[in-house]
Amino acid sequence: MLEKLKSKQGSIGVVGLGYVGLPLLLAYAKAGFRAVGIDIDPGKPEALLAGRSYIKHIPGEHVAEALASGKLEATTDFAIIKTLDAIILCVPTPLDEHFEPDLSYVVNTVEAVVPHLKAGQVLSLESTTYPGTTDEEVVTRVEKAGFKVGTEIFVVYSPEREDPGNTKFSATNIPKVVGGITPACLEAGVALYEAAFEQVVPVSSCKVAELTKLLENIYRAVNIGLVNELKIAADKMGIDIWEVIRAASTKPFGFTAFYPGPGLGGHCIPIDPFYLTWKAREYGVHTRFIELAGEINRSMPTYVIHRTMEALNSRGKPVKGSRILLMGLAYKANVDDMRESPTFALLDGFQHLGAEVSFYDPHVPVVGPTREHMNWAGARSIEWSEETIRAQDCIVISTHHAAFDLAQLAEWSDLIIDTRNAMASVATPEGLVIKA
């Protein structure tokens, strides 16, 4: 197995073909491996076998090239696992309604994979989760099936570090952390990832690797929570927090800029910290700092709604009956990923107050199925036109896409609530833009 990985003669399977799994699958195909994608959604294998991408920031030609090379395969049939040398699991790890870890995707996937395992394979989990998950949920099921971990099946954990839409860092040039259950497992994991990644960072255990990913995202969540809290305080003092951040950023050491917004989005920062807080309680530890940051970040849509109400009231308009347009449904700029987007909270909040609410996002023309916002499934982005924009009582910029024509927005709008400092580069009359 090690020889196959090092010589790139092996077969790599990726289970879960979303924002993490698809780039990983294409990376192994490009590296020269037989790369097999497995997903329970038949639409994804169908698209790949037709040479199409279903994720906006992943060009379709990359899929077509992998398919033309003869290295790319895709299926819904888990029986193909018998033919593989390595299996990498890239499935969601959301929170339930009580902000506790939902490992159902991991558990169900492992149970679907285990019956098809054979001795001599590497099994890697990449889903973000709490320390101990690989030992407790993966190893126990592999051993229950009769395999000896470390001599027959080599179990590792390697946290995904995918950043959708990042043009500087993609799947293979981001250092890859990997931990193994045993030294032999770690050796196998290093061989697996060295075959496709520029740098592999081995650590002493799966638990270390699991906590590494949580630390990365908790670091971001806490600092974003801090700057969101400072934004509210600065606003009360009549200070522009964006100017403060620009000034602080000139310090060449000891400061890293984080930016406020309407709330947190994506599948990492709003969710991952709670995996640690939940696990820490098992050890009698109350992670107050992390939970406070989460509380602040979750409160930001409410702050934006209140700022919008104040701005409309200053113009003699109530929220009820006002036409409010949210610009940007995706959780971050220039991608089509709407997972955990704070725009949904804004849509719900304004609608609850009686506003006529809509959204514009060239990257998300129609809302697909979501776990928590099924009421918006099928909703469509408005068409961008002067008539449509002038008909709005208020525009709320919740995501700053490069595709937005901000000059037209400034010309056609009566009131803009800017949560991203997007209008800073556009000349606007006094009072048009309210920062929130």
CA geometry: angle 352, 358, 362, nearest 5 deg: 145
Q: What's the CA gap between 219 and 273, in Å, rounded?
A: 9
Q: Which amino acid is at 434?
A: I
DSSP-derived pairing of the beta strands 176-180 and 153-157: antiparallel
Selecting among 90, 185, 206, 268, the annotated active-site residue is 268
Q: Which amino acid is at 247?
A: A
Token pair in block for residue 69: 């090379």
Q: Are 53 and 334 in contact (CB under 8 A)?
A: no
Q: What's the CA gap between 270 and 217, in Å, rounded?
A: 9
DSSP summary character for residue 95: B
Q: What's the CA gap between 132 and 103, in Å, rounded?
A: 12
Q: CA distances (Å), 173 to each of 20, 150, 189, 269, in order?
A: 14, 28, 17, 22
Residue 123's beta-bridge partner residues? Answer: 87, 155
- Report how far Cα 95 is from the mean position of its chain's Cα atoms: 14
Write out the DSSP string of 56-94: TTS-HHHHHHHHHTT-EEEES-GGGGGG-SEEEE-----
Token pair in block for residue 74: 């895709």
| Strand locations in 164-240 (E) | 176-180, 200-203
Residue located via tokens 């390595």: 86
Closest CA to 151 of 111, 122, 171, 114: 122
Q: What's the CA gap between 103 and 108, in Å, rounded?
A: 8
* CA dihedral over 231, 235, 236, 237, signed as positive or negative: positive
Please say if 394 is a catalytic residue. no
Q: Are 318 and 424 in contact (CB under 8 A)?
A: no
DSSP summary character for residue 314: H
Which residues carry out catalysis?
A: 268
